[in-house]
């Protein structure tokens, strides 16, 4: 890429179980705060790309409901759906084309207003073969977790450490929905949800919204002293039927390879300083780390046990608390990008990691991680 695209600033809601504001108010709130922070008038915004999903909003054509509230009135824009990192990617493309200098990128989900995650993700299973047997996101994740257990044999205690770490990190994050100090015993005594996943292995859903401003390098430098540059971006999809896929080696290595190659990253475990990934379960934080090439396959749980991925470790993973901290289903990917951005700017407060030059953000959607996106950021 000849031109560079930067993140100028990022704003998120204080995420929660059931926020009082409606979807319009949530998007308006984050966009208003963002524009105030960068001291910009709405008229100066080039384009607005949002991400939300109709089933996850309980309204059809979900962006129709908040297009104006999210700052898009009488502007060019679009909605890319299911994974909010797609909105970042599309906003970046629009800037690289030269048509726009700035792009407002907005993500929103109010899980409290829609049916349960299991109901909605069961609707994502094909109607003929998978839906009748009850396949949904947790069931698919449990199948993956079981395969991982069988292949590499971590103990339940080793996996539970992810939850302990992320919930403890989340407690330091003022925007998280939940957090706290938990013992391994508490996690292992939580009831079984879909073996081997226990209730506390799976972060429940949240309400939340976020907005970030993208700009070309020249514009970004005028707007902020601390631009965060997108060094590389990659995304990939796996096959339709879960039985046609290698559940321990799917689309993520391909997405990561694309992002690393565009960012010129040769040795991710050495070059990346902090990781914000979509930890859809405790097992998955470990699996995604391995599939991102941050450690060898079957070695992730050992890094967690050794404290390598802790806030003060060599390679902190999810210092924000990840999805254990807050899980607004569609917006969560863009929040990972925003949190990585805060780390690079040294603005993460109590969950700040020292010396961050390069960060990785990751997002996932689809049963058993059918689709992944990876973003490499740097200052």
Residue whose CB is less far from another protein, 120 or 138: 120
Polymer length in residues for the chain: 379
Cα separation, 106 vs 227, whole angstroms: 18
Beta bridge partners of 9: 213
Q: How far is the CB of 358 from another protein (least distance, A)?
A: 21
Q: Which long-range contacts (CB under 8 A, 24 or more apart) does 347-352 make?
A: 348/319, 348/320, 349/172, 349/173, 349/174, 350/172, 350/173, 350/174, 351/169, 351/172, 351/173, 351/311, 351/319, 351/320, 351/321, 352/319
Q: Which residues bind another protein (CB under 8 A)?
A: 1-2, 24, 48, 53-55, 58-69, 72-82, 86, 89-90, 92-94, 96-99, 120-121, 123-124, 126-127, 234-241, 244, 251, 254-255, 258, 365-367, 370-371
Q: How far is the CB of 249 from another protein (least distance, A)?
A: 12
- Strand pairing of 102-110 and 47-51? parallel
Q: How far is the CB of 343 from another protein (least distance, A)?
A: 26
Residue whose CB is less far from another protein, 86 or 283: 86
Residue whose CB is less far from another protein, 98 or 180: 98
Q: How far is the CB of 206 from another protein (least distance, A)?
A: 19
Residue whose CB is less far from another protein, 63 or 109: 63
Residue whose CB is less far from another protein, 11 or 85: 85
Residue whose CB is less far from another protein, 109 or 236: 236
- Strand pairing of 197-198 and 192-194? antiparallel
**Residue in this structure with the two tokens 């925007």, named with its chain if needed:** 175
Q: How far is the CB of 45 from another protein (least distance, A)?
A: 13
Q: How far is the CB of 370 from another protein (least distance, A)?
A: 5
Sign of CA dihedral 105, 109, 110, 113: positive
Instruction: State residue 86 phi and psi, 5-degree precision.
Output: -60, -35
């Amino acid at each position: 890429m000849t031109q560079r695209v930067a993140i100028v600033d990022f704003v998120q809601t204080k995420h929660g179980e059931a926020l009082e504001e409606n979807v319009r108010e949530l998007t308006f709130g984050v966009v208003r705060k963002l524009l105030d922070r960068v001291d910009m008038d709405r008229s100066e915004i080039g384009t607005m790309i949002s991400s939300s999903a109709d089933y996850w909003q309980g309204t059809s054509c979900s962006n129709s409901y908040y297009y104006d509230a999210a700052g898009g009135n009488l502007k060019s824009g679009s909605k890319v759906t299911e994974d909010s990192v797609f909105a970042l990617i599309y906003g970046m493309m629009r800037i690289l084309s030269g048509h726009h200098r700035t792009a407002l990128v907005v993500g929103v989900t109010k899980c409290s207003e829609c049916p349960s995650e299991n109901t909605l993700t069961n609707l994502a299973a094909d109607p003929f073969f998978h839906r009748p047997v009850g396949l949904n996101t947790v069931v698919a994740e449990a199948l993956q977790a079981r395969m991982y257990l069988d292949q590499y044999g971590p103990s339940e205690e080793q996996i539970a450490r992810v939850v302990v770490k992320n919930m403890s990190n989340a407690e330091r994050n003022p925007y998280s929905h939940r957090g706290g100090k938990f013992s391994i015993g508490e996690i292992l005594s939580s009831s079984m949800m879909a073996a081997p996943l226990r209730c506390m292995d799976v972060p429940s859903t949240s309400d939340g919204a976020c907005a970030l401003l993208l700009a070309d390098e020249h514009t970004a430098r005028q707007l902020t002293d601390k631009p965060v540059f997108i060094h590389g971006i990659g995304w990939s999809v796996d096959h339709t039927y879960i039985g046609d896929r290698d559940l321990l080696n799917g689309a993520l290595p391909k997405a990561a390879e694309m992002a690393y190659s565009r960012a010129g990253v040769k040795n991710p475990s050495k070059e990346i300083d902090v990781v914000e990934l979509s930890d859809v379960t405790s097992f998955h934080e470990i699996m995604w780390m391995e599939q991102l090439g941050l450690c060898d396959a079957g070695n992730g749980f050992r890094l967690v046990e050794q404290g390598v991925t802790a806030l003060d470790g060599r390679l902190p993973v999810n210092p924000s608390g990840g999805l254990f901290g807050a899980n607004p289903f569609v917006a969560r990917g863009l929040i990972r990008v925003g949190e990585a951005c805060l780390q690079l700017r040294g603005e993460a407060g109590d969950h700040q990691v020292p010396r961050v030059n390069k960060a990785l953000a990751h997002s996932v959607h689809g049963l058993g991680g059918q689709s992944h996106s990876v973003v490499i950021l740097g200052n």
